[in-house]
């Protein structure tokens, strides 16, 4: 039998220890993300250490170790930084850490858009829709820390989904996400959806204090106008298209090695104008249509006058489509030309999004034990009109 010890370099400063099977197989499960150092010891063999073993969500890391007989007491150390090929499963994995997420331009700061860079993705990624490996657009299994995050009706992400029937959606602040990973051709342990699995890992705090403060501003002054917008004398400039996003995240210990917290807050303000010119049935268009129906003196051809239908008379004209009269943006006095209308009233909105989590470990992290039982919860997300608290969750972690 061979004894193997896994020592954490970055995360939580905790050791895991396990013993191989008679065939020399070993497995470490339910360990936090980060870089690890694997040390192999066996009687009559020199110690063998592998540094920089990267553990990411949704990925099985295969590490082959070969021991050689030697009389002297020595330690062999190698680096696993270049060992990135997964030879254990057929799955294709992609991982994006928080450093990359901070630098990637994402409209609306929505983590579901990150799946758009997954190899095999096709379509327009809006609200979690998009085909992976030729599957249907809603065939991705969305998870948060390995827990189901799927809307049971639409089969799209439940968190970061738009509101339904006046009920506001739940938005998770981007700075509370530690890592985004996606996997195609998922193994049996993931399964559920044909397109693969997308999982985000949330920040849980630790023995050191960490935090971030951010402000993002999207403004039409710094971008090209919509290709559908045609400047006119009345509307010479492109419509407003603005999104302000600002907030913070902080995490750290409440009691070192025992109790931790992670808290985030953000606010989004958006202002979106009509993307282009449209044609509205103004009074000038109605008069022209009535003239064509009347066909005075055969002006438009050899046909008899046609009476307008009562339905059309009720839908168009002074008593028809809104806005009419002196209302702002009225269509009453617009000319009978194509592209005669541009709305001066943009859509506006906002959301308040918060995130909080408490992590308690029943066995202090300073002890050498495996596994350590920890509890997460409650996790809360709040937006402009709704507060939702997820059920208290329990799991295994280091």
Q: Same domain for 385 and 249?
A: yes
Per-residue pLDDT of the chain (398 residues; tens, 9 = 90+): 444 443 333 223 356 778 888 777 888 877 777 778 888 887 777 878 888 887 777 677 778 888 777 655 566 566 655 555 666 666 677 888 888 887 787 877 888 888 888 888 877 776 667 788 788 888 888 888 888 888 888 888 888 876 555 555 678 888 889 889 888 766 666 677 877 888 888 888 888 899 999 998 888 888 887 777 777 776 777 778 888 999 999 999 998 888 899 999 999 888 887 777 788 888 888 889 889 999 998 999 999 999 888 888 777 767 777 677 777 778 888 889 888 887 777 788 888 888 888 888 755 544 433 333 444 444 434 343 333 322 222 222 22
Q: Same domain for 246 and 102?
A: no
Residue where a domain stops, chosen among 17, 47, 79: 79
Cα separation, 247 vs 245, whole angstroms: 7
Q: Same domain for 265 and 311?
A: no
Q: pTM for this structure? A: 0.65
CATH code of 57's domain: 2.60.40
In a domain, 171, yes or no: no
CA distances from 116 to 98, 119, 138, 150, 366 (A): 16, 8, 14, 18, 40
Q: Same domain for 250 and 137?
A: no
Q: Same domain for 121 and 196?
A: yes
Closest CA to 171 of 179, 156, 183, 159: 159
Q: Same domain for 319 and 353?
A: no
In a domain, 182, yes or no: yes
CATH code of 124's domain: 2.170.130.10
Count CB atoms within 10 A of the CB of residue 341: 19
Q: Which helix (H) or strand (E) holds 294?
A: helix 283-294
Name, in order, each residue with C-beta under 8 angstroms of 283's C-beta and a sequence gap of 6 or more: 317, 318, 332, 333
In a domain, 311, yes or no: yes
Residues of the domain holding 375: 203-277+345-398
Q: How many domains does the chain have?
A: 4
Q: Same domain for 74 and 188?
A: no
In a domain, 296, yes or no: yes
In a domain, 172, yes or no: no
Q: Same domain for 63 and 45?
A: yes
Q: Same domain for 138 and 249?
A: no
Residue where a domain stops, chosen among 55, 79, 103: 79
Q: Same domain for 227 and 195?
A: no
In a domain, 85, yes or no: no
Q: Same domain for 309 and 350?
A: no
Q: Same domain for 101 and 161?
A: yes
């Amino acid at each position: 039998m061979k004894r193997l010890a896994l020592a954490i370099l970055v995360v939580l400063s905790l050791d895991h220890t396990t013993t191989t099977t008679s065939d020399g197989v070993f497995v470490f499960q339910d360990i936090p993300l980060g870089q690890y150092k694997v040390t192999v010891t066996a009687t009559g063999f020199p110690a063998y250490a592998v540094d920089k073993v990267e553990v990411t969500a949704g990925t099985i890391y295969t590490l082959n170790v070969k021991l050689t007989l030697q009389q002297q007491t020595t330690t062999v150390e190698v680096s696993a930084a270049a060992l990135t090929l997964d030879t254990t499963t057929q799955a294709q994995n992609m991982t994006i850490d928080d450093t990359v997420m901070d630098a990637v331009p994402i409209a609306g700061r929505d983590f579901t858009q990150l799946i758009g860079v997954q190899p095999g993705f096709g379509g327009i990624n809006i609200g979690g829709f998009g085909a992976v490996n030729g599957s249907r657009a809603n065939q991705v299994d969305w998870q948060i820390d390995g827990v189901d995050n799927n809307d049971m009706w639409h089969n799209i992400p439940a968190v970061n989904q738009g509101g339904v029937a006046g009920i506001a959606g739940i938005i998770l602040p981007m700075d509370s996400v530690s890592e985004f990973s996606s996997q195609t051709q998922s193994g049996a342990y993931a399964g559920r959806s044909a397109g693969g699995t997308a999982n985000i890992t949330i920040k849980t705090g630790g023995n050191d204090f960490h935090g971030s403060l951010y402000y993002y501003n999207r403004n039409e002054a710094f971008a090209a106008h919509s290709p559908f917008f045609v400047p006119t004398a009345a509307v010479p400039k492109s419509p407003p298209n603005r999104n302000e996003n600002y907030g913070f995240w902080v995490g750290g210990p409440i009691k070192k090695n025992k109790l931790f917290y992670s808290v985030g807050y953000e606010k989004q303000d958006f202002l979106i104008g009509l993307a282009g010119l449209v044609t509205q049935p103004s009074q000038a268009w109605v008069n022209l249509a009535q003239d064509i129906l009347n066909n005075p003196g055969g002006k438009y051809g050899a046909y008899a006058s046609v009476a307008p239908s009562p339905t059309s008379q009720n839908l168009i004209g002074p008593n028809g489509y809104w806005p009419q009269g002196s209302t702002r943006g009225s269509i009453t006095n617009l000319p009978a030309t194509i592209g005669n209308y541009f709305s001066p009233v943009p859509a506006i909105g906002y959301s308040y999004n918060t995130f909080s989590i408490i992590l308690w470990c029943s066995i202090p992290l300073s002890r050498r034990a495996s596994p350590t039982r920890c509890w997460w919860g409650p996790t809360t997300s709040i937006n402009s009109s709704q507060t939702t608290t997820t059920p208290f969750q329990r799991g295994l972690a280091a």
